[in-house]
């Protein structure tokens, strides 16, 4: 970085591995404005100390960020602990460099410096597996944008990068960021915790405040940015919603809340993101207690033994090493103002716990344990060899150790599964400044241990009402183009809303109606089917004693025709808004009627085969079959079995109608019977399909019987049509969910009824009416005699 560096806005930490103790072991980087951190680890087991320090301006020029300085001290504390550890990395010392990245303004320069060799040159090679850059690991930066910028460079070298507070879910993409790991949970867990908090308190209308005007590091605000803040706060006051979620870097929040105080905006619930949930500097703005209740999502509170005393420890002033050249020399500085500022926050830092600091602390220990494994260390020594970053990355992904009672390991996306907490800011000096009111467990993805919240609002209550939705604000030059103010509330399930609109409209209920063309067509077919079936009943009744009717089944024909008539009469239950009765008819009566018909077909086919092929071979069995009315017993058994299946389905589900939104048209709400009916249909149809296969098999076995008794082609037609139509319906219902499902279900039902009625009974009616001479006992006897003689 060199002596031309600006004030330290964000720090980037680098660690190095040293074979010998450094001559000057204490290291203080005194930043006037520490906004975040990027640390790096060096690998240099051959021996020389190589610490580079940033030269920064005087402390009075900028206000120091306490958290940034605190994170830097956490990194130093971890390194000193490891270097003094007897069994972790014995004989190997860790060194580090800290670089200012100034939020997002100075990312590329330090990264190129890290990747360069000792000669400050970065060679262009097609294979970097044998290339040893200046550092072997990077810890940080603290925000997602800078982390991704740095990661694009480091990932080319597979140089491990562990960030402690960048929560963007984009970093979970290991194709784009293969070398990034995090000691903090990703944004989706933070959002899940926030949403569950809102659901718990039943907040329907929420204001979401995103990009705020970003001042300069010295908090200087231009007149235009000041005007934008005024407008944003005015819109907040105009809204009747009083729950405000703020996603913004902490740098922008100081001036924003000053404007909130200036306009006397009170009675709100402020929900803080990770970036400012436990910011101690903002907490010192005690007048904020009058603006409402402050809740925030942050990392679980931890305690690092000895760290509170360490961060306030003063170091002896050190002179720069005398052997530095002008090209590489910087100064080792100590800033009393930085230390004094940190001392003034001692109480709040101690009481709030080491949250983000533990992320830095655990990141350093992660690298140390990975190095310990890579260098094959035992209790007394480690191998002395060059450490390549890609090798270290593999070991980091495999670490699994306990640190201060917590297990440290990374999941497949490179995240450390730590718990989150919902904290409430307290300004009472006698209480913890950040009181935990709930905890979130990433494995369960559930908010737990929710405690009582002290609302700093009138009547100690909070409500979320419908509010105003502002448009996005755009700054000059296109710098701030993100939406700056928005409001959302999910509409009820029976309502819908236009995009970016706050109004909810009633959805139109959709079901199969009488006046629709498909309904008219299906009802016409059903009416024709009912009349034709009624005509078949009349014809068979008038010719009941004739051989044609008796060969078709005799009394069993009416057992088949009666369910068909009942099924036709039930067709209207598919039309109109579904009710409990109509859903019951759809799910019970129709399927039972079909089962009775198909079981009659099956037993009829079996009986014909028995008469011609099995009666002579098994006379006793056939006698029992006839004596005890075997066909009717079989039909009754199958019908009872189907009744049990239907009853089980109805007990396991419900016959209550349900509604769901149409995915293709948000204005529509589809009303239908239980959506799980399709699963019950598969189970109900399976028994019918089994009967179809059995009936077809018996009919095929009797294909050589006399023509008057050979019903294979009729039964085959009916069974094949029912089989294919049922499979097609189930397939369609598995991929589509809408009114068309009801129409198709009804159409398939009516066509199956027509197929059974006309396909089986139609040809027999035709023979009775058109060829009465063939409907005589003499004609049938001659056909049987011819069949018998042909077999002989």
Angle at 381 between CA 377 and CA 383, to 5 degrees: 65
Q: What is the mean pLDDT of the chain?
A: 76
- The three-state secondary structure class of 529 is helix
pLDDT of 717 reads: 72
Instruction: Give the torsion sign (CA, 515, 520, 526, 527).
Output: positive
CA distances from 720 to 148, 675, 692, 762 (A): 61, 27, 8, 17
Give the H or E element holding residue 282.
helix 280-283
Please provide the distance, in angstroms rounded to a whole number, between the alpha carbons at the two ends of the chain.
110
To the question of domain 19-184+350-402 being in CATH 3.40.50.2300, the answer is yes
Whole-angstrom Cα distance, residue 175 to residue 283? 40
C-alpha separations of 431 from 272, 352, 421, 434, 435 in Å: 20, 10, 17, 8, 8
- Residue 551 DSSP SS3: helix
- Token reading at 673: 């019977």
Three-state DSSP class for 173?
coil
Cβ atoms of residues 262 and 287 within 8 Å: no
> Distance between CA 213 and CA 501 in Å, rounded?
25
Yes or no: say if 424 and 432 are a contact pair by the CB < 8 Å rule.
no
Neighbours of 452 (CB within 10 A): 7
Q: Indicate left, alpha or beta for 134 from its phi (over 0: left) and psi (-120 to 50: alpha).
A: alpha
Measured CA to CA, the distance from residue 248 to residue 258 in angstroms comes to 15
**What tokens were used for 520?**
């008219």
Q: Compute the distance between CA of residue 465 and CA of residue 456 in angstroms, rounded to an integer.
A: 18
Tens digit of each residue's pLDDT (9 = 90 or more) over 499-551 = 655 567 677 788 888 888 888 999 999 999 999 999 999 999 998 888 888 87
At 532 the three-state DSSP class reads helix
567 vs 738: CA distance, rounded Å: 24
Domain assignments of the chain as residue spans, ordered by start: 19-184+350-402, 517-789
CA distances from 77 to 42, 694, 702 (A): 17, 80, 92
Nearby residues of 282 by Cβ (< 8 Å), 6 or more positions away: 250, 253, 254, 257, 276, 288
- H-state helical runs in 239-293: 253-262, 280-283
Structure tokens at 118: 């000792």
- Indicate the pTM of the whole model: 0.57
**CA neighbor of 360 nearest in space, from 401, 304, 436:** 304
- Tokens 């049938």 belong to residue: 780
Q: How far is CA 38 from CA 13, 54, 75, 165, 414, in A?
A: 4, 13, 10, 11, 18
What architecture does CATH give domain 517-789?
Up-down Bundle (1.20)
296: helix, strand or coil: strand
Looking at residue 710, its pLDDT comes to 54
Distance of alpha carbon 293 from the chain centroid: 30
Q: Which of 642, 676, 643 is nearest to 657 (CA)?
A: 676
CA-based nearest residue to 574, from 524, 665, 512, 532: 512
* Residue ranges in the chain whose pLDDT is less than 70: 1-65, 100, 102-105, 216-219, 314-348, 350-353, 457-494, 496-503, 505, 610-616, 654, 663, 674-684, 702-716, 737-738, 783-792
Q: Supply 595's token pair.
A: 């089962």
Cα four-point dihedral sign 652, 654, 659, 664: positive
């Amino acid at each position: 970085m060199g002596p031309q560096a600006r004030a330290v806005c964000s720090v980037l930490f680098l660690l190095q591995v040293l074979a010998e103790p450094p001559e000057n072991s204490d290291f203080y980087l005194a930043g006037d404005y520490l906004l975040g951190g990027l640390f790096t680890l060096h690998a240099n087991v051959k021996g020389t100390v190589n610490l580079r320090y940033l030269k920064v301006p005087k402390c009075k020029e900028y206000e120091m960020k306490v958290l940034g300085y605190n994170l830097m001290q956490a990194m130093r504390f971890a390194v000193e602990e490891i270097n003094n550890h007897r069994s972790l990395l014995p004989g190997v010392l860790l060194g580090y460099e800290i670089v200012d990245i100034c939020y997002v303004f100075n990312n590329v320069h330090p990264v190129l410096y890290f990747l360069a060799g000792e000669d400050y040159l970065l060679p262009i090679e097609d294979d970097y597996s044998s290339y040893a850059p200046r550092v072997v690991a990077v810890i940080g930066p603290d925000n997602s944008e800078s982390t991704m910028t740095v990661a694009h460079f480091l990932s080319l070298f597979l140089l491990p990068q562990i960030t402690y507070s960048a929560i963007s879910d984009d970093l979970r993409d290991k194709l784009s960021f293969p070398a990034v790991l995090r000691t903090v949970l990703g944004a989706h867990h933070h959002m899940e915790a926030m949403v569950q908090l809102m659901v718990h308190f039943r907040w329907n209308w929420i204001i979401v405040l995103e990009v705020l005007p970003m001042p300069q590091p010295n908090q200087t605000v231009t007149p235009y940015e000041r005007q934008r803040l005024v407008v944003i706060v005015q819109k907040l006051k105009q809204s009747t919603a009083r729950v405000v979620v703020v996603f913004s870097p902490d740098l922008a929040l100081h001036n924003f809340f000053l404007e909130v105080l200036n306009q006397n905006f009170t009675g709100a619930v402020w929900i803080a993101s990770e970036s400012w949930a436990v910011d101690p500097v903002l907490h010192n703005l005690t007048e904020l207690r009058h603006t409402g209740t402050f809740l925030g999502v942050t990392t679980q509170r931890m305690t690092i033994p000895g760290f509170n005393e360490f961060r306030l420890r003063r170091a002896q002033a050190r002179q720069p090493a005398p052997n530095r050249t002008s090209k590489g020399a910087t100064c080792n500085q100590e800033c009393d103002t930085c230390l004094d500022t940190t001392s003034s926050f001692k109480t709040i830092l101690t009481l709030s716990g080491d949250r983000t600091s533990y992320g830095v602390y655990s990141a350093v220990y992660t690298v140390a344990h990975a190095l310990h494994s890579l260098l094959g260390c035992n209790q007394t020594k480690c191998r002395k060899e060059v450490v390549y970053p890609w090798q270290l990355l593999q070991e980091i992904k495999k670490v699994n150790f306990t640190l201060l009672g917590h297990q440290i390991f990374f999941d497949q996306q490179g995240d450390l599964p730590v718990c989150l907490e919902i904290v409430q800011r307290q300004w009472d000096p006698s209480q913890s400044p950040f009181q935990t009111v709930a905890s979130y467990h990433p494995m369960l993805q559930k908010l737990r241990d929710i405690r009582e919240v002290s609302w700093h609002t009138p009547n100690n209550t909070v409500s979320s009402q419908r509010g105003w939705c502002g448009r996005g604000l755009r700054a000059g030059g296109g710098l701030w183009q993100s939406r700056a103010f928005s409001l959302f509330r999910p509409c009820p399930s029976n309502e819908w809303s236009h995009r970016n609109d706050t109004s909810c409209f009633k959805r139109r209920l959709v079901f199969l109606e009488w006046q629709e063309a498909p309904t008219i067509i299906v009802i016409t077919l059903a009416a024709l089917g009912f009349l034709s079936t009624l005509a078949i009943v009349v014809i068979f009744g008038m010719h009941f004693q004739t051989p044609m009717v008796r060969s078709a089944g005799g009394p069993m024909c009416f057992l088949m025709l009666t369910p068909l008539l009942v099924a036709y009469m039930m067709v209207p239950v598919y039309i109109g808004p579904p009710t409990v009765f109509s859903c019951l008819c759809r799910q019970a009566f129709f399927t039972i009627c079909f089962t009775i018909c198909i079981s009659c077909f099956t037993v009829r086919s079996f009986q014909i085969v028995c008469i011609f092929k099995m009666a002579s071979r098994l006379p006793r069995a056939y006698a029992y079959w006839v004596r005890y009315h075997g066909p009717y017993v079989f039909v009754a058994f199958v019908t009872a079995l189907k009744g049990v299946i239907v009853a089980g389905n109805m007990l396991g589900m419900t016959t209550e109608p349900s509604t769901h939104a149409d995915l293709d048209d948000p204005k529509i709400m589809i009303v239908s019977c239980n959506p799980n009916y399709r699963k019950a249909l598969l189970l109900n149809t399976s028994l019918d399909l089994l009967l179809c296969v059995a009936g077809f098999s018996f009919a095929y076995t009797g294909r050589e019987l006399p023509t008057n008794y050979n019903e294979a082609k009729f039964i085959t037609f009916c069974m094949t049509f029912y089989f294919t139509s049922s499979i097609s319906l189930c397939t369609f219902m598995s991929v589509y969910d809408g009114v068309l499902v009801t129409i198709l279900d009804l159409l398939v039902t009516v066509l199956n009824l027509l197929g059974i009625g006309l396909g089986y009974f139609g040809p027999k009616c035709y023979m009775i009416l058109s060829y009465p001479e063939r409907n005589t006992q003499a004609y049938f006897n001659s056909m049987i005699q011819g069949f018998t003689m042909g077999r002989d």
